[in-house]
Amino acid sequence: MKRFIVLLCLLLAAPSARADEALRLRQRTSINQIGARLLASHLRHNGMANAMVSGPSLFYGLSVLALGADGASRNLLRSQLLSDQGVEASVADIAGPLAKQLSTEVTAGETGGSFRLSQGVWSTNGASGSQPFLLKREFVLAAQTHYGASHRLIDFEAAGAAQTINSWAEQRTNGLIPSIIDDPTLAKLRWVILNTALFEGGWGTAMQRVAPGGAYRFVTLDGRPQAARSIRSARYSAQVVDLEDGSVAFQLPFAGEKYAFLVHVPAAEQKHIDRWLLEAAIPALPETTQRVFSGNGARQPLMVQLPSFSFSDGVSMVTGSPIAADLGLAPLFDSSANLDRLSAQPSQLGLVRHHSRIELNENGVRAAATTLIGGIRRTSIGPVSPTRQIVVNRPFVFAIVARASQTLLFNGVLMAPPPDAAR
């Protein structure tokens, strides 16, 4: 009997211990801050439109790059990727175990949410006449050991070479992102690090599709009401956070409850939603996530209505990019960048390209992102209350969150449902 009780206690404690470890690992990184900063910078420099990024996709692409960096470049990447600067631990020592905590593979027939990260590394073999670019064996082995990254040598200048990389990304995003690079761009690069992030999950509470034409209208950033297809939840229980500025943040669970969809909507009287997004909601997203998933507040019955939508997005960084400067990555594009642990041949960053797509409807959410990092030769170029109803009908911030670690897997904004959402 004693053995049974001890075994039962161990089984009950195991999920809690894993959750504590996931949270501890995430807190030692800047993974949530990177996603929020990238989203805000993207909107600031590219315009206020529907947008989504994946902090983990960029974080893990840069984490592989950190294996090849040395000197000041290595220190820069460490400072941008880790929040805990006082501990002598490499990025890989923390990021590698965190990736295992974030990922979940779901077998056929299961309905729980799943999240998968994949890494690949390519370098050119120079078959078309240019000099091949050889990666150091130590770098390739480290990328494989810590992040499961595969390595392939291909001819970057051959016709159709980009399709090899695109097909790899398309397969690992289940077709959501079919293309990340083209032949002319690839021909200018010498090596490529590619990360893909894929989330698929059904709702953990019943959702009903609502056709446009009823009382629901989505009010766009410029104040225009717009007919839109929406989804409405059944009654469920969740923690709701009423923030100091009058805005409201809450979560919708995915099946299995490892992941959740976070929504942060502005106060009804908020007149300057663009400023609210850029100056308040997005910068505070890591803190808001912590408050929503802390479990410190009382749960309350909810019924939620929000638009169904789908869109694709993309952002790029090159030499002189203001987004690279905002993220503190500009020195990596300079000829003084030290990537000596990646290759014996001199190299610097030439391109960071981030693509994403999200599809949200009454069945659930599919979201994917790819981050391509390309290198060039140096010198080249409260209490329980009655059921609360929340109608999300103004531009809002959203995120897909791994609950245990409170990691923002994807985060974005919806300014207006795309036209196809009204059909």
Query: Are β-strands 114-124 and 150-154 bridged in parallel, bridged antiparallel, or unpaired?
Result: parallel
Name the least confident of 137-141, 188-192, 202-206, 384-388. Answer: 384-388
CA 335 to chain centre: 29
pLDDT at 228 over 50: yes
DSSP assignment letter at 271: S
Task: Give me the residues paired with residue 203 across strands.
Answer: 254
pLDDT at 380: 44
Mean pLDDT of the chain: 89
**What is the pLDDT confidence band of residue 2, given thresholds at 50, 70 and 90?**
low
Highest mean pLDDT among 16-25, 33-42, 237-246: 33-42
pLDDT at 298: 73
CA 206 to chain centre: 26
pLDDT at 121 over 90: yes
pLDDT in tens, 200-222: 999 999 999 998 878 899 999 88
Three-state SS letters, 331-380: HHHCCCCCCCCCECCCEEEEEEEEEEEEEEECCEEEEEEEEEEEEEECCC
pLDDT at 384: 42
pLDDT at 12: 42
pLDDT at 104 over 90: no
pLDDT at 109 over 60: no
Cα-based angle 370, 323, 56 (whole degrees, multiple of 5): 35
Cα-based angle 235, 238, 244 (whole degrees, multiple of 5): 120
| Candidates 3.90.920.10, 3.60.15.10, 3.10.20.90, 3.30.497.10; CATH matching 23-201+310-377 | 3.30.497.10
Query: Are β-strands 114-124 and 191-202 bridged in parallel, bridged antiparallel, or unpaired?
Result: antiparallel
Sheet holding 364-377, edge to edge: 150-154, 114-124, 191-202, 364-377, 347-361, 309-317
pLDDT at 233 over 80: yes
Q: Where in the chain is the domain with CATH 2.30.39.10?
A: 204-309+383-422
pLDDT at 4: 47
pLDDT in tens, 307-320: 999 999 999 999 99
pLDDT at 8 over 70: no
CA 162 to chain centre: 24
pLDDT at 422: 43
pLDDT in tens, 157-169: 999 999 999 999 9
Name the least confident of 1-5, 62-66, 136-140, 329-333. Answer: 1-5
To the nearest whole percent, how much of the chain has pLDDT over 90? Answer: 72
**What is the pLDDT confidence band of residue 198, given thresholds at 50, 70 and 90?**
very high
Name the residue with tokens 């289940």: 174
More confident position, 273 or 257: 273
**What is the pLDDT confidence band of residue 110, given thresholds at 50, 70 and 90?**
low
pLDDT at 129 over 70: yes
More confident position, 2 or 46: 46
Task: Give me the residues paired with residue 64 across strands.
Answer: none
To the nearest whole percent, how much of the chain has pLDDT over 70? Answer: 91
pLDDT at 56: 96
pLDDT at 391: 87
pLDDT at 354: 97
pLDDT at 279 over 70: yes
pLDDT at 13: 46
At the topology level of CATH, where does 204-309+383-422 sit? Alpha-1-antitrypsin; domain 1 (2.30.39)
pTM across the whole model: 0.91
pLDDT at 89 over 90: no
**What is the pLDDT confidence band of residue 128, given thresholds at 50, 70 and 90?**
confident
pLDDT at 9 over 50: no
* Distance (Å, whole) CA 175 – CA 172: 8
Helix axes 71-81, 31-46, angle to 10 degrees: 90
* Distance (Å, whole) CA 38 – CA 44: 10
When pLDDT is averaged across residues 392-420 and rounded to a whole number, the result is: 90
pLDDT at 377: 82
Q: Where in the chain is the domain with CATH 3.30.497.10?
A: 23-201+310-377
pLDDT at 390: 83
* Distance (Å, whole) CA 93 – CA 106: 26
DSSP assignment letter at 135: B
